[in-house]
Chains A and B, each alone.
Chain A
Amino acid sequence: DAGITQSPRHKVTETGTPVTLRCHQTENHRYMYWYRQDPGHGLRLIHYSYGVKDTDKGEVSDGYSVSRSKTEDFLLTLESATSSQTSVYFCAISESTSGGAAGANVLTFGAGSRLTVL
């Protein structure tokens, strides 16, 4: 997990409350990602960023928003948490996504944030 930290690591909240998860990197990588991992579904991309203020949706973006005001920080916000958003959230970083070049799309993951929505 060197170079990438997530906070909080564990959070319990109630339905309808806002939640923000933070990802901080010291690698100066351009690309940052938020995934969720649920049994039977594997890792699914929520949102990703390809630069400061440049973000795009992944496959499960409904109910989530993101912001990246600095290279090193990528925030994931649940505006109004629901029980279906109970999950383990992983932030990841990568240096490049181009083609089949060596190193492309090699992701380094943070330690994860376990969120429980009651």
Chain B
Amino acid sequence: QKEVEQNSGPLSVPEGAIASLNCTYSDRVSQSFFWYRQYSGKSPELIMSIYSNGDKEDGRFTAQLNKASQYVSLLIRDSQPSDSATYLCAVKSDKLIFGTGTRLQVFP
């Protein structure tokens, strides 16, 4: 069974620090990788997508993909309390599979 694994957390970081969220996947032929943010009681929203090995930066967010090691990560620089949410990793090969999410808490 194809799987996407995330540590459920919570991951607690102080304001201004770098938050590092990790995700591993089992299907080697996966081609598309996504990070969604979900605030409590709200719907998921896409924050990053990455399709090739390496880093992709968008503002304070950096997605990192390593297909050989089958992991994708999300770095959040200068973390803010407003970043406190659950971050869902999603991976697509023939179908899109979501991880269960990592809860991030950023404390002042």
Contacts and interface: CB of A to CB of B under 8 A. Distances in A.
B51 A109 contact: no
Given A42-B88, A43-B44, A109-B45, A100 B51 contact: yes
B17 interface: no
B98 A100 contact: no
Interface residues of B, number: 21
Contact of B96 (A100, A105, A111, A112): A105
B26 interface: no
Q: Interface range on chain A: under 10, 10 to 19, 20 to 34, or 35 or more?
A: 20 to 34
Contacts of B31: 99-100
Main secondary structure of the interface of A (DSSP, over half): loop
A40 B86 CA distance: 13
Interface of B: 31-32, 34, 36, 42-46, 49, 51-52, 88, 90, 92, 95-96, 98-101
Interface of A: 1, 40-45, 90, 99-100, 102, 104-112
